Amino acid sequence: ARTAAVIPAAGRGVRLGPGAPKALRTLNGTPMLIHAVRALAASRAVSLVVVVAPPDGAGEVKSLLDAHALPDRTDFVVVPGGDSRQESVRLGLDALPPEYDIVLVHDAARPLVPVDTVDGVIEAVREGAPAVVPALPLADTVKEVGPAAPGEPEPVVATPVRARLRAVQTPQGFDRATLVRAHETVTEDVTDDASMVEQLGLTVVVVPGHEEAFKVTRPLDLVLAEAVLARRRL
């Protein structure tokens, strides 16, 4: 089985504040996207990484990859992305050569995922799961809220049992044919790829995630990411 990784990196990252597209912001001097590409290419099983660039930024991303040291045994391809994450992932899937039958989808916004997490996801797909997500238990209790009446605070409508909830990370791993079918079948907006496979009626399985696979979303996350890198002495 050959494994490729698709890294959607076409988001604007507005929640991080003004500036460059999120994937191009630097952590300790190196763009977040380069950290993410290295994190996936660190797995010996991954022989192709497809980076989905901002629609008008494919040239810039290609130059960026050329300018940084990356493993020789891995191929790198850059394609332009779309208006939604889903569209960007689909464009990345379209660029995969036929010989890849396992696909990882990894957010550029999770630049510090450890290689053991990547390998754990691949292993579970190799063992036969059509879709695999790395996930962690939650520290916070989660409430579902209803719509607020004008001028009123939001009402809580439900409290799911915390012990049964998981915060889901990436890379998510897929049997390629299953993920392609999911993208052809599901048209409504989703926030992760595995939920599209759930909608096909297939079982998605969970493997252990990692604290360092957190998503860089808000300004405080940049501080945390640089602290993690400093601890690793990169």
Binding residues for ligand C5P, per CB under 6 A? Answer: 8-11, 22-23, 52, 81-85, 88, 107-109, 217
Based on CB atoms, which residue is closest to ligand C5P, 62 or 126? Answer: 62
- Nearest approach, Cβ of 110 to ligand C5P (angstroms)? 8
Based on CB atoms, which residue is closest to ligand C5P, 33 or 46? Answer: 33
- Nearest approach, Cβ of 37 to ligand C5P (angstroms)? 12
- C-alpha to C-alpha distance for 69 and 84, rounded to whole angstroms: 30
- Nearest approach, Cβ of 91 to ligand C5P (angstroms)? 9
- C-alpha to C-alpha distance for 132 and 197, rounded to whole angstroms: 10
Based on CB atoms, which residue is closest to ligand C5P, 30 or 101? Answer: 30
- C-alpha to C-alpha distance for 111 and 159, rounded to whole angstroms: 32
- C-alpha to C-alpha distance for 30 and 53, rounded to whole angstroms: 17
Tokens of 170: 């990436």
What are the residues whose beta carbons fall under 8 Å from the beta carbon of 178, sequence distance 6 or more?
130, 131, 197, 200, 202
Query: 5 and 82 in contact (C-beta within 8 Å)?
Result: no
Based on CB atoms, which residue is closest to ligand C5P, 47 or 217? Answer: 217
- Nearest approach, Cβ of 67 to ligand C5P (angstroms)? 20
- Nearest approach, Cβ of 56 to ligand C5P (angstroms)? 12
Based on CB atoms, which residue is closest to ligand C5P, 10 or 48? Answer: 10
Based on CB atoms, which residue is closest to ligand C5P, 7 or 229? Answer: 7
- C-alpha to C-alpha distance for 229 and 49, rounded to whole angstroms: 22
Nearest residue to ligand C5P on Cβ basis = 11
- Nearest approach, Cβ of 173 to ligand C5P (angstroms)? 16
Tokens of 209: 């995630």
- C-alpha to C-alpha distance for 71 and 76, rounded to whole angstroms: 10
- C-alpha to C-alpha distance for 77 and 62, rounded to whole angstroms: 8
